[in-house]
Amino acid sequence: MQVGTAVGNLAGVIGIHPEEAAVVEQLKAGSEEAFAWLISRYQQPLYSLIYRILPDPGDAPDITQEVFVKVFRGISRFQGEASLRTWIYRIALHEALNQRRWWSRHSHREVTFEPVPETGQEYSVADSLVDQNESPFDAAARAEVTARVESALREVPEPFRTVVALRDIEGFSYEEIAEILNTSLGTVKSRLTRGRAHLKRLLAPFIEAASRRPSPSFVSRVSHACSAEEAV
């Protein structure tokens, strides 16, 4: 079987919950094609989430790699109590939060002159607000908004930041987030509300200043995204 065909078939079945077991079995059997697909599917979103959780974004590549090592070593014990996606994200958050705790204990001993790495094409809150037919002005404004949102999100305290990232960036449902974090649905909703309030407050001066510039509709989309209230 050609690798491309195998990976394509895997991508097709992974989205159908009853057939997820077939993909898991291939992973457990050590299929290189299955793991290649797994990495191609999850590497970028996991990196983006970990990048936003860690105090030092420079650690994100190593932690992302460690997540896949843990998945490789632990897949034989995966019993399907949660979806494969939920299980992988649970591992990613566990590793990222462990790194946060280590950083909190040791950061005062270290001084670094390393520049903060570029985020490349990572998805961000602001990306979901973009008009694909934007003008050069809107493109510049989007870049500024993206930087401000990323910076503000990093200042939102845990555990609110993680819930905002999982819901508003990764698109997990409330139920999935509760499963990933091993907490109640009410706690997820409460943390999301508080996280969005933190983010809106941090961005308020920027939004107010930007509202006095041209193209106010762009700014209004940012403001709406930060204060979105969903029916629950």
Domain parsing of the chain, residue ranges? 3-104, 125-226
Query: Phi and psi dihedrals of 72, rounded to 5?
Result: -60, -45
CATH topology of domain 125-226: Arc Repressor Mutant, subunit A (1.10.10)
pLDDT digits (tens, 9 = 90+) for 33-58: 989 989 999 999 999 999 988 888 88
**CATH code for the domain defined by 3-104:** 1.10.1740.10
The confidence band for 116, taking pLDDT boundaries of 50, 70 and 90, is very low
- Mean of all residue pLDDT scores within the chain: 75
| pTM of the model as a whole | 0.67
Q: Is residue 78 scored above 60 in pLDDT?
A: yes
Please name which of 87, 63, 55, 57 lies closest in space to residue 74, comparing C-alpha atoms: 87
Q: Is residue 136 scored above 70 in pLDDT?
A: no
